[in-house]
């Protein structure tokens, strides 16, 4: 009897613990959407029903970067060799917009062969877990990290280095990594200079810091916006959305808008167009 009572008690405890424990996360259907967000805390891929992006033709002044990234992505979609890409440079000049627009354009060409997977900067250490989920899928994936950079005390860049090229498993054949950053070497200049001044072997220390960006085979630079390019961006948006405004008035208002913000960029041009379209009662994005 004591043995049976103990077994019954243990069974009841086990059943109670099972009821309290959360169910294992359901595996995402990787064919169910064209984009996903990696939720590292839960270890799941969350489907995105509608991607926040612009049409490729609306992105002005970055035609060379557009063509290079599109060619690289097209080759990857076709199963051919392609490079990880780092889009770096001036703020607001369309780096993240280009990644999303190219993804849409290549999918339209190739029958939705690619899925875009966004990973947040703070979740980079969990990248191996994400790759484990994607590795066995027949689909091809562009992993995208926006505004990637590392600070002085951050060592997670080492795990990214291993995943991109140096690890024993390496990057899965069906995965490519695209990142945007304001920094060419993904780390602030003073961080690199500090390493140079304090290290026993300065050359080796700096090499360790900057070698992460070398793991990206494709570097695309985005430069500051000129006045002419800014005017072209605004005019292109106004024409695309059919905004009824005289060209001279459009140019004058757009330049005043940029002056009040102390900057010219594609982002500033887009923000002006949003304000102008609202005042004119027009729409710039589908409902």
Q: Can you count the helices (H) and strands (E) in the chain?
A: 10, 7
Looking at 222, 237, 265, the residue that finishes a domain is: 222
Strand order in the sheet with 35-39: 44-47, 35-39, 114-118, 140-145, 175-181, 85-89, 218-222
Do 116 and 94 share a structural domain?
yes
Do 270 and 200 share a structural domain?
no
Do 116 and 144 share a structural domain?
yes
Q: From CA 185, how far away is CA 181, in angstroms rounded?
A: 9
Do 245 and 216 share a structural domain?
no
Q: Give the structural domain span for 150.
A: 35-222
- pLDDT band at residue 145, thresholds of 50, 70 and 90? very high
Do 94 and 46 share a structural domain?
yes
Q: What percent of the chain has pLDDT over 70?
A: 78
Looking at 182, 201, 222, the residue that finishes a domain is: 222
Partnered with residue 114 across adjacent β-strands are: 140
Q: From CA 62, how far away is CA 67, in angstroms rounded?
A: 9
DSSP character for 166? I
Query: What total of structural domains would you count in the chain?
Result: 2
What value does the mean pLDDT take over residues 118-143? 91
Question: pLDDT at residue 161 above 50?
Answer: yes
DSSP string, 210-276: HHHHHT-SEEEEE-PPPHHHHHHHHHHHHHHTT----HHHHHHHHHHHHHHHT--SHHHHHHHHHHH
Q: Is the dihedral of CA 217, 183, 225, 265 positive or negative?
A: positive
Q: pTM for the whole thing?
A: 0.80
H/E stretch holding 191 reads helix 189-198
Phi and psi for 144 in degrees, rounded to 5?
A: -125, 125
Chain Cα centroid distance, residue 117: 8
Close Cβ partners of 215 (under 8 Å, ≥ 6 residues apart) = 84, 160, 161, 164, 165, 166
Do 113 and 100 share a structural domain?
yes
Mean residue pLDDT across the chain:
83
Residue 118: how many CA atoms within 13 Å on its side-chain side? 18
- pLDDT band at residue 195, thresholds of 50, 70 and 90? very low
Do 173 and 45 share a structural domain?
yes
Do 215 and 79 share a structural domain?
yes
DSSP string, 94-122: SHHHHHHHHHHHHHHHHTS-EEEEE--GG
Do 209 and 258 share a structural domain?
no
pLDDT tens across 99-124, in order? 999 999 999 998 888 999 999 988 98
Looking at 175, 194, 222, the residue that finishes a domain is: 222
């Amino acid at each position: 009897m004591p043995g049976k009572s103990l077994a019954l008690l243990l069974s009841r405890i086990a059943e109670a613990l099972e009821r309290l424990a959360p169910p294992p996360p359901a595996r995402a259907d990787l064919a169910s959407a064209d984009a996903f967000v990696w939720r590292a805390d839960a270890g799941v891929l969350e489907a995105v029903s509608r991607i926040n992006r612009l049409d490729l033709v609306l992105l002005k002044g970055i035609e060379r970067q557009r063509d290079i990234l599109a060619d690289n992505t097209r080759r990857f979609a076709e199963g051919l060799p392609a490079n990880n890409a780092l889009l770096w440079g001036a703020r607001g000049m369309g780096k993240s917009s280009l990644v999303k627009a190219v993804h849409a354009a290549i999918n339209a060409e190739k029958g939705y062969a690619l899925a875009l997977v966004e990973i947040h900067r703070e979740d980079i250490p969990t990248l191996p877990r994400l790759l484990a989920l994607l590795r066995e899928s027949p689909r091809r994936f562009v992993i995208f990290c926006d505004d990637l950079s590392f600070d002085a005390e951050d060592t997670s860049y080492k795990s990214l280095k291993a995943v991109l090229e140096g690890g024993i498993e390496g990057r899965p054949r069906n995965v490519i990594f695209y990142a945007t950053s304001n920094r060419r070497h993904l780390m602030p200049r003073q961080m690199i200079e500090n390493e140079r001044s304090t290290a026993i072997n300065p050359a080796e220390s700096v090499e360790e810091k900057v070698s992460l960006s070398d793991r990206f085979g494709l570097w695309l630079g985005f430069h500051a916006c000129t006045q002419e390019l800014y005017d072209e961006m605004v005019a292109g948006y106004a024409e695309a959305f059919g905004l009824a405004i005289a060209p001279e008035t459009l140019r004058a208002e757009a330049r005043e808008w940029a002056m009040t913000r102390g900057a010219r960029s594609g982002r500033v041009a887009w923000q002006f167009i949003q304000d102008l379209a609202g005042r004119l009662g027009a729409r710039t994005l589908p409902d």
